Structure 1
Amino acid sequence: MLRVSSAGKRSYGGESAPDRVRRRRSQLIDVALTAMAENRWRSATVAGLCVEAQLNKRYFYESFPDLDTLASAVIDEVSVEVGHAAVAAYVASIELPLADQARAAVDAVVDALGTDPRKALVLLGGVADSPTAHARRNDAMQGLTAILVGHARSVHGVELEDDSLASTAPAFVIGGTAQAILSWADGSASIDRARLVEDIALLWLALGESAAGIARARLEAAGQR
């Protein structure tokens, strides 16, 4: 039944026009996520995705001008979810010991990706897709690396901040973490979720402490010259 709200906007079945647009956009992102995770993206078409989403083809273009834009939206949505989860975990555990902070952050990231293996496959590079999506994924991973860089600097201080390891160590950690979660998500790593979180958190701590120690030794050696 068509209704008119007090604001003068038409609604259908209690759903406003903007809400319908958001719902249709969400449906398209969901089927695109599936197509990307199942390695079908290179053969995907607007018409085919609309059939999967049970939408008229014209509804695709109310939200996306082309398939590349849709692929970017999928990666953006997943990366934002993961980034927000990591930041929220850090904020909530900021008063706890460093080991608990690391464990909370890893747990949040694994939770965001592990509850839906499609997200891990798409964000962490487990499937082939378009050059545009590949570039967008790189941007997303750099954003997650920046989060880790910021936290490492706040924990380890100026020793690590002034050394090249301030850039290389977090990138190394993110890359290794991504591969570990991807291997777990696609079933190639026989490990339960709790052990995965614990192992990654311990590796984060070990590398962070080692990197800070190396940076400190380099600064001391430079000061003695």
Structure 2
Amino acid sequence: MGQATGTYGGRSAQERRTERRERFLAAALQQFGDRPGYRAASVAGLCEEAGLSTRQFYEEFRNLEQVLAQLHLLVNDRTEQAVLRALTDTAGLTFEQRIGAVLRAYIAAATDDRRRLRIAFVEIIGVSEELERQRLTRRALWVQLIVAEAEAAVGRGEIAPRDFRIAATAFIGAVNGLLHDWTAGQFDATLAQVVDELVALLLGSVRRPGG
């Protein structure tokens, strides 16, 4: 479908489209991340939340799954930016100090809005093969980051060399499972308790068993 290209109200067509898209994503964050949840959401309900029309929705997205996919990427990008800042801020520290700070930055960014937490660890699960591939691709990037940090610590003589891929993959699976269950209310714990448990788990997972 063709798009208007002129200027209206002092804003270009692209600026108006960008604003519309952001309004749809903000509405989706509320509806998917809170109530009614992705599986009970509808295009009509999302449009009502955004204050926009269904015609405008279909100018931006194919369907609700594409909106969820975009939200999932945005949530991961936001968390990744927090982790990269922590990596920069902790340059020169020991591996244990560095990985603890990085994990705390990850958890803080992932959990500061329960709606984003739900998008990343609950609503994305089991939607479609395409979204599962997206989820696993982003998870693989987190595994690579842990492996890179562990191998750098080996180079500094802080930990013994080994193949860290299995340990890193197991740890990321544990993070996903723990945050999923915590978000779903499967157990009672404070955020600080969750963070401390994950820090201890990560530090233990990259050290050679029995070492």
Whichever residue aligns with residue 134 of structure 2, its letter is R
Q: CA deviation at 1:23?
A: 2.3
Q: Is residue 18 from structure 1 mapped to residue 14 from structure 2 by the alignment?
A: yes
The question of whether the paired residues in 2 share the 8 Å contact of 1:42 and 1:129 is answered with: no
Cα distance in 1 between the residues matched to 2:87 and 2:64? 35
Whichever residue aligns with residue 148 of structure 2, its letter is G
When structure 1 is superposed on structure 2, of 127-136 and 81-90 the one drifting more is 127-136
2:132 match? 134
Q: Measured at CA, do residues 33 and 173 of structure 1 come closer, stay the same or move farther in structure 2, by a change above 3 Å?
A: same
Cα distance in 2 between the residues matched to 1:207 and 1:129? 27
Cα distance in 2 between the residues matched to 1:212 and 1:144? 25
Unaligned runs of 5+ in 1: 1-8, 214-225
Cα distance in 2 between the residues matched to 1:203 and 1:59? 47
Q: Is residue 208 from structure 1 mapped to residue 202 from structure 2 by the alignment?
A: no
Cα distance in 2 between the residues matched to 1:103 and 1:145? 16
Q: Measured at CA, do residues 28 and 129 of structure 1 come closer, stay the same or move farther in structure 2, by a change above 3 Å?
A: farther
Cα distance in 2 between the residues matched to 1:48 and 1:74? 17
Cα distance in 1 between the residues matched to 2:210 and 2:92? 21
1:88 match? 85
Q: CA deviation at 1:11?
A: 5.0
Cα distance in 2 between the residues matched to 1:84 and 1:113? 11
Q: Is residue 30 from structure 1 mapped to residue 32 from structure 2 by the alignment?
A: no
Whichever residue aligns with residue 17 of structure 2, its letter is V
Whichever residue aligns with residue 98 of structure 1, its letter is F
The question of whether the paired residues in 2 share the 8 Å contact of 1:89 and 1:105 is answered with: yes
Q: Measured at CA, do residues 42 and 187 of structure 1 come closer, stay the same or move farther in structure 2, by a change above 3 Å?
A: closer
Q: CA deviation at 1:126?
A: 5.5
Q: What are the superposed Cα offsets for residues 76-100 of structure 1, whole Å, 9 maximum, x if unpaired?
A: 1111111222222122112122222
SS in 2 for 1:55: coil
TM-score (norm 1): 0.76
Aligned residues: 201
RMSD: 2.7
1:112 match? 109
TM-score (norm 2): 0.80
Cα distance in 1 between the residues matched to 2:180 and 2:168? 18
SS in 2 for 1:180: helix
Q: CA deviation at 1:15?
A: 5.1
Give 1:170-185 correspondences, 5 Å limit. 170-185=168-183
Q: CA deviation at 1:69?
A: 2.0
Q: Is residue 98 from structure 1 mapped to residue 95 from structure 2 by the alignment?
A: yes
Give 1:1-80 correspondences, 5 Å limit. 10-12=7-9, 16-37=12-33, 38=35, 40-80=37-77
Q: CA deviation at 1:47?
A: 2.6
1:159 match? 161
Larger radius of gyration: 1
Q: CA deviation at 1:16?
A: 4.7
Cα distance in 1 between the residues matched to 2:145 and 2:174? 16
